[in-house]
Amino acid sequence: MKLTSYEPYWLRKNGLITAYPSLTEDIETDVLIIGAGITGSLMAHQVVKDGYRTVVIDRRDIATGSTSATTSMLQYEIDIPLHKLIEKVGEQTAVASYQACFDSISQLKTLVDEVQSDCGFAFQDSLLYASKPSHSRMLQKELYSRAKYGFPVRWLTESEILETYGIQKTFGGILTDRGGRVDAYILANDLLSYNVAKGLRVYDRTELSEVKENDEFLLAVTSQGKRIKAKRMIYSTGYEVTELLSKKVVKLLSSFALVSEQNLPGIEKYKNTLFWNTDDPYMYFRSTDDGRLLVGGQDLPFKNEELRDKLIDKQTAKLEGYIKKHLVDFELTTDYTWAGTFGETKDGLPFIGEHKDYPNAYFVLGFGGNGITFSVAGMVMVSNWLRGKTHHLTDYFRFDR
């Protein structure tokens, strides 16, 4: 599956940071990780830290799948509001899931500092604002629910949003001080480089063809016929998991994004906050660490790559129109546009854990707008499982929930 079209901004900005060899011989390892995007690199970091011999393979160059196209908004808010998620999955599951994402943002900052990554990580506020009067009532209910469970939130009126951020035609919103931004493409590369120095082996342009099982180990065979003997496997293949699993677990969408010119007049208002609205699908925007405005949304059901690519100009024109309509005193000039494959689950939660069809393996699939924060939680979960320990999120994120 081709996960991106045109060339995402992060690839233009950063280029191909690191090239690794393809696998040309048979090898053995304790843990084999499939996928070298941001999720796979996070898993590798944790597994290497835990002392396991670790190998990562990817069919592409490092982090050039969905990671290169992500808009990397770090939010603890899941795509489904907390009060609605409680109704859908129960109080314990919903609150624990929100709390895991909340904690993950600080955990990610600690990790960024640990590997000394120049990925532009920054804590930011997050503003979820109502697009319609009826949405305002829903957000008031959400405000109460989040405050009840200890999440830091406060209400901003329509006039406060206009005065502070220059966003018009809103109907109030929820402001929280727990959000962040990151260049996930750089971070993934930095994580892998850091751990290669500690013994991690990485092979790009190496595609998994099949996995054979016996009582003692798994035997992964590449499309070039090379074999990797591993005790455990971790699948961090993101939306391409649809090629592996017989049962559909995620609805695929085409998502569209643009990045503006640098340092446009008025950009200062948006440098410290993530913005998203209550439309379905929602619109969102944030600043980048090099002074641009990144805008995303206008999601459509994914049918095929060709149709998605043909729609880029049309959908990004809608993104531009939204910004021009709602952001006063800001003249948008677009530099880059692209599309990527995105997905959502029925309950907004990830799938992290074992699958009945894949013994001695774990899946870490952080679907939805919280892919990165869910993956940070997945690091700890997998670490526990490999050491024979339990984790309190296991039942909430399992495949058969």
- Phi first, then psi: what are they for 158, rounded to 5°? -55, -45
- The beta-strand segments (E) located in 288-374 are 293-301, 334-344, 351-355, 358-365
Structure tokens at 52: 């396991």
Residues 84, 141: contact at Cβ < 8 Å? no
Alpha-carbon gap, residue 46 to 31, rounded angstroms: 11
**Cα dihedral 338, 341, 347, 352 in deg (nearest 10):** -120
Under 8 Å between Cβ of 56 and 208:
no
The whole-angstrom separation of Cα 41 and Cα 33 is 9
- Radius of gyration (C-alpha) of the chain in whole angstroms: 21
Question: Which letter does DSSP use for residue 167 in this model?
Answer: B
Q: What are the φ/ψ torsions at residue 202 (nearest 5 degrees)? A: -125, 135
Per-residue tokens: 129: 């604002």
Beta strand ranges found along 60-207 (DSSP E) = 73-75, 122-129, 153-156, 173-181, 201-203
Tens-of-pLDDT digits for all 401 residues of the chain? 554 456 788 988 999 999 999 999 999 999 999 999 999 999 999 999 999 999 999 999 999 988 988 888 999 999 999 999 999 999 999 999 999 999 999 999 999 999 999 999 999 999 999 999 999 999 999 999 999 999 999 999 999 999 999 999 999 999 999 999 999 999 999 999 999 999 999 999 999 999 999 888 999 999 999 999 999 999 998 877 777 886 788 888 888 999 999 999 999 999 999 999 999 888 999 999 999 999 999 999 887 888 888 999 999 999 999 999 999 889 999 999 999 888 889 999 999 999 999 999 999 998 878 899 999 999 999 999 999 999 999 999 999 99
Q: What is the pLDDT of residue 4?
A: 47
Tokens of 128: 């979820």
Say if CB 279 and CB 302 are below 8 A apart.
no
Q: Which two tokens stand for residue 328?
A: 């006063």
Q: What are the residue ranges of CATH 3.30.9.10 in the chain?
A: 122-180+251-344
- The torsion angle over the Cα atoms of residues 40, 101, 75 and 169, rounded to 10 degrees, is 140
Question: What residue spans in the chain does CATH classification 3.50.50.60 cover?
Answer: 4-69+185-248+348-397
Burial grade of 158 (CB within 10 A; 0-12, 13-18, 19 or more):
middle
Half-sphere exposure of 226 (CA within 13 A, CB side): 15
Fold of 122-180+251-344: D-Amino Acid Oxidase; Chain A, domain 2 (3.30.9)
Pairing, β 284-287 against β 208-213: unpaired
Say if strands 284-287 and 293-301 run parallel, antiparallel, or are unpaired.
Answer: antiparallel
Around Cβ 49, how many Cβ atoms within 10 Å?
14
CA neighbor of 158 nearest in space, from 145, 150, 148, 169: 169
Residue 253: its pLDDT value, please? Answer: 87
53 three-class SS: coil
Q: Per the CATH hierarchy, to which homologous superfamily does domain 4-69+185-248+348-397 belong?
A: FAD/NAD(P)-binding domain (3.50.50.60)
pLDDT score for 246: 67
Strands 227-235 and 54-57, sheet pairing: unpaired
How many angstroms separate the first and last alpha carbons of the chain?
A: 27
Which helix (H) or strand (E) segment holds residue 294: the answer is: strand 293-301
Residue 3: the pLDDT is 44
**Residue 156: beta bridge partners?**
173
Query: What does each C-alpha distance from 343 to 114, 286, 302, 346 come to in angstroms?
Result: 30, 21, 9, 10
User: For strand 284-287 and strand 273-277, is the pairing parallel, antiparallel, or unpaired?
Assistant: antiparallel
Q: 100 to each of 197, 314, 349, 376, 391, how far by Cα in Å?
A: 30, 37, 11, 9, 12
